[in-house]
Amino acid sequence: MNACEGHTTNAVGSTSADFGEMSLAVMANDIEATHHAYLRQELPRLIALSGQVAAEQGKRNPQLPQICQIIVALAAELNSHMRKEEQVLFPMIRELETGRRLPAFHCGTLCNPIRQMVSEHDDACGALAQLRELTDDFERPTGASDKFRTLVAALENLEQDLQLHIEKENRTLFPRALALEEKRRLDSLITSYR
Ligand SMILES: [Fe+2]
Ligand SMILES: [Fe+2]
């Protein structure tokens, strides 16, 4: 199974079912207030924690430095990804929903930024799959230190939250935004022929 399929529960924010009932603007607000806020708080903590555990126990557990490197790279990618959603894509989606006419987006259509975001989601899922593999499915090793156990538990939570976050965007917010854009396009076509 793909690392980003099949999970529908989450420690923060709405469930997938609640989420489907929201307007597009409220969905974008919900994602920013829960999943983006969670990542902004958790990623620096995970970088620091994985660095400490790798420095203290990396000789006995050679996978630890690699885990740390993956977290650092994932954090950089996700910070850039969230900025693009918050500064470009989500404002476009809000504008599309509020206006009755099709807005003139500088990138032409929502398809382009959405395709880019989905591709970046696939990259994040790849990193999660590597973290799962390197930790033997988030197994807390017997005799591991408290810090090591805390790190593995936090990585498992990260996977769960990021999977739900990506599922909300890929399966609900983005397809609905594209459908609304198509509707606005048809409406303006019909209006132009009246
Ligand atoms: Fe997001
Ligand atoms: Fe995203």
Residue range 31-80, pLDDT digits in tens: 999 999 999 999 999 999 999 999 999 888 999 999 999 999 999 999 99
Q: What is the mean pLDDT of residues 126-135?
A: 98
Q: Is the pLDDT of residue 192 over 80?
A: no
Q: Ligand 1 is a single-atom ion; what residues have CB below 5 A from it?
A: 85
Q: Is the pLDDT of residue 11 over 90?
A: no
Q: How far apart are CA 70 and CA 98, in angstroms?
A: 39
Say if CB 117 and CB 170 are below 8 A apart. Answer: no
Say if CB 16 and CB 169 are below 8 A apart. Answer: no
Six-digit token pair at 130? 């590597």
Q: Is the pLDDT of residue 138 over 90?
A: yes
Say how many Å lie between the CA of residue 118 and the centre of ligand 2: 7
**Amino acid letter for position 154:** A
Say how many Å lie between the CA of residue 122 and the centre of ligand 1: 13
pTM passes above 0.85: yes
Q: Which residue has the higher pLDDT, 59 or 154?
A: 154
Tell me the ligand closest to 4's alpha carbon: 2
Say how many Å lie between the CA of residue 164 and the centre of ligand 2: 11
Say how many Å lie between the CA of residue 166 and the centre of ligand 2: 6
Say how many Å lie between the CA of residue 78 and the centre of ligand 2: 8
> pLDDT digits over 85-120, tens only?
999 999 999 999 998 666 776 667 899 999 999 999
Q: Is the pLDDT of residue 5 over 60?
A: no
